[in-house]
Amino acid sequence: MNQYETVFILNPVLSETQIKETVKKYEDFLVSKGAKMVSKENWGLKKLAYAIQHKKSGFYHLFEFQVAGEAIDGYELEFRRDERVMRYLTVRLDKHAIAWAEKRRIRDNAKA
């Protein structure tokens, strides 16, 4: 099982309920494929560097998870089909990125 990280941006016109439903949909999809969720973060509404679909902001979310590589194609297909998702990026983490992500989580938890 490889470790992955996905950042996705949701449409800013969505209600709080719609955002929660969308995030839950993708979490449930990963869990159904046998993924182990390492971390989930809601970064909130952020201004975009450039307009996407004539929108200047979006709701950012980060998932860090472990899953077999075969599940990623179906996962990204769901993102492409969903009109609520403006952009997404999934990357496989190497050992250095995993260590950095762990340090970032510890630092962020210490701040909170």
CA 57 to chain centre: 16
Residue 109 has pLDDT above 90, yes or no: no
DSSP category for residue 21:
H
- Give the span between the Cα atoms of 14 and 53, in whole angstroms: 14
Number of domains composing the chain = 1
Q: How many CA atoms lie within 13 A of 64 on its CB side?
A: 15
CATH of the domain at 53: 3.30.70.60
Average pLDDT over residues 38-62: 95
Q: What pLDDT score does 111 carry?
A: 77
Beta bridge partners of 9: 60, 87
**pTM flag (> 0.75):** yes
Range of the domain at 68: 2-111
Average pLDDT, the chain: 94
Q: What pLDDT score does 29 carry?
A: 96
pLDDT in tens, 51-74: 999 999 999 999 999 999 999 999
Residue 11 in contact with residue 57, Cβ under 8 Å?
Answer: no
Of 64 and 112, the one with more pLDDT:
64
Q: Strand order of the sheet with strand 36-52?
A: 36-52, 55-67, 2-10, 85-92
Burial (0-12, 13-18, 19+ Cβ within 10 Å), 83 = exposed
pLDDT-derived band at 110 (thresholds 50, 70, 90) equals: confident
Q: Which of 40, 45, 16 is nearest to 26 (CA)?
A: 40
